[in-house]
Amino acid sequence: MPDTKMPKLVIFGDLKKEHVAEAVEEFKDFARDKAEIIDSCSIEKYKAEILPVAELKKCDFAVVFGGDGSIISAGRILRQSKVPVIGVNLGKLGFLAEFSVDELEQYFDDITCEKAPIERRMMLSCKVFSSSNRSQVKFGSAAINDVFITAGPLHRTIELKVTVNSQTVASFVGDGLIISTPTGSTAYNLSASGPILDSSMEAMVITPICPHSLSFRPIVIDANSKVEISRVRIDKSTIISVDGQDSLKLSDNDIVGIERENSDFLLVNNPLRTRWDTLAAKLGWAEKPKYKADPLTK
């Protein structure tokens, strides 16, 4: 009989990706006498065969092996069960993957005894409905990083009307828009010259993608705002995407509604480093200029 005091874990990972299956099996061997593993779920192409929410709620932690995509997939699945995610980096960047395999094993007891901080991060809820029938939702999803609308193939400019809390903010002309969480501020938002937000903040960022106006700059709004985006002019290939995982082609009469999701993403932080350390190490943030050495000081 397993020790009832042992932490209950669920494991996630895309077993088709390099090194993931091997790392999962090695961890199972390591945790054999340290934890009760409820299930091991394979994430493939952002889908998973998973336990029901009621079963997931019995778990103390979810250990996710992979990169940020796998962690985002697992986080979206786990949001209703409120299970904290321990991200183990086996990807390229791993901004959300706080731990290496060695760090997970070295500090496993501290992590599972909740000595490592658990950060609560806000999420977004995205719904698409028709302007002629707002009660019928044709698409819905939850975002950890962002919701974005892009012109799609042919890459013609699109024009969108943006309202916040029923007040018209702007009509946008360009390649698209990003509505980002603080977690997602270091993802697509950052690549589009949006601001970096502290991940613990409660706010949204609206960032244009290649706007046809130098004055259309990103704005930060309150997390409890309700954003609506409707088309003025779109292309037939214009799409909306949630975390780059769920997507839908938009029609002329579609309206996109974005607001705060009623559940949060729980992430176990690595006690060995701060979020500023992570920014510096993984994104080269605030790196000093490469000064030329003064030949007189040699």
pLDDT at residue 294 is higher than 70:
no
* Residues 78 and 71 sit within 8 Å (Cβ to Cβ): no
The pLDDT score that the predictor gives to residue 141 is 96
Same domain for 99 and 192: no
Q: Give the mean pLDDT of 35-62.
A: 83
Task: Look up 222 and say whether it is catalytic.
Answer: no
Sheet containing 176-180, strands listed edge to edge, beginning at the edge strand earlier in sequence: 219-222, 203-209, 176-180, 146-150, 239-242, 246-249
Report how many helices (DSSP H) and strands (DSSP E) the chain contains, helices first: 7, 19
The pLDDT score that the predictor gives to residue 56 is 93
In this predicted model, what pLDDT tens digit does every residue of 47-60 receive, in sequence order? 555 778 899 999 99
Q: Which of 211-215, 265-269, 270-274 has the highest mean pLDDT?
A: 265-269
β-pair type (203-209, 118-121): unpaired
Same domain for 133 and 100: no
The pLDDT score that the predictor gives to residue 295 is 62
Q: Give the mean pLDDT of 244-262.
A: 95
Confidence of residue 275 (pLDDT cuts 50, 70, 90): confident
Q: Which residue has the higher pLDDT, 275 or 222?
A: 222
Confidence of residue 3 (pLDDT cuts 50, 70, 90): very low
Could you list the residue range(s) of the whole structural domain that residue 171 is in?
Answer: 124-260
Same domain for 141 and 74: no
Same domain for 154 and 112: no
Same domain for 179 and 85: no
Q: Which of 37-46, 113-122, 218-227 has the highest mean pLDDT?
A: 218-227
The pLDDT score that the predictor gives to residue 88 is 96
Same domain for 223 and 140: yes
Cα–Cα nearest to 99, from 275, 273, 270: 270
DSSP codes, 138-182: EEEEEESSEEEEE--TT---EEEEEEETTEEEEEEEESEEEEE-T
Catalytic position from the list 68, 146, 235, 243? 68
76: domain CATH number? 3.40.50.10330
User: Residue 1 domain-assigned?
Assistant: no
Q: Give the mean pLDDT of 60-68.
A: 95
Q: Give the mean pLDDT of 75-90.
A: 94
SS3 letters across 64-132: EEECHHHHHHHHHHHCCCCCCEEEEECCCCCCCCCECHHHHHHCHHHHHCCCCCEEEECCEEEEEEECC
Same domain for 269 and 219: no
Cα–Cα nearest to 260, from 206, 208, 294, 224: 224
Same domain for 192 and 65: no
pTM of the model: 0.91
Same domain for 256 and 128: yes
